[in-house]
Amino acid sequence: MYCTLKYRPLPNGANFLRWMSFQEPIEGTALIPDGYAEVEIPGKVLAAYFEVDLGTENRAAWQRKVQPYLSYAASGAFARDFHQLQFRTLVVTTSESRLTSLRVATAALTDKIFRFTTFERIKREGFWGNIWQKPTGNERQALL
């Protein structure tokens, strides 16, 4: 994901700002995201955590991963720690069936924050294409 954001063309005047990797939980949380990025577009910043899912966790384990993101978003700590108003959690997974499973598990908890896609969609249509889905609904959207 880092290389895609850093070295591939960005849409419409967007500018890559930063990437962070995590070996320890974010202070005061149980979160250990796979990565975090900020991309500036005219008028705002897309702040996003990344979860790369390889299909090894069951539904309960996935939902235990979703909960800390929701708590962190609601606590106001993200705004304090990263100086951004909100974030998304971008989940990239291995197949359409796994994507559906993760979306259903997440939708039981929230329709906010999370966006889902597959490696194949990124390869075929590009990271910035209409490839991202919310936990509910079938519409595919771009991030920007």
| Per-residue pLDDT tens over the stretch 2-33 | 998 988 888 888 999 999 999 999 998 999 99
Average pLDDT over residues 111-140: 97
- What single string gives the DSSP state of each residue in 21-84? --SSPPTTSS---SEEEEEEETTEEEEEEEEE--S-S-HHHHHHHHHHHHHHHHHSHHHHHHS-
- What is the SS3 assignment for 133? strand
Reported confidence tier of residue 82, pLDDT bands at 50, 70, 90: very high
pTM listed for this prediction: 0.95
Average pLDDT over residues 106-118: 97
- Identify the pLDDT of residue 9: 85
- Identify residue 117 by its one-letter amino acid code: T
Reported confidence tier of residue 102, pLDDT bands at 50, 70, 90: very high
Backbone angles phi, psi at 88, to 5 degrees: -115, 155
pLDDT averaged over every residue in the chain = 95
- Identify the pLDDT of residue 43: 83
Question: In the chain, what percentage of residues exceed pLDDT 70?
Answer: 100
- Identify the pLDDT of residue 54: 96
Average pLDDT over residues 87-107: 98
- Identify the pLDDT of residue 56: 93
How far apart, in whole angstroms, are the C-alpha atoms of residue 132 and residue 32?
22
Query: Does pLDDT of 140 surpass 90?
Result: yes
Q: How many other C-beta atoms lie within 10 A of the C-beta of residue 26?
A: 19
- Identify residue 120 by its one-letter amino acid code: E
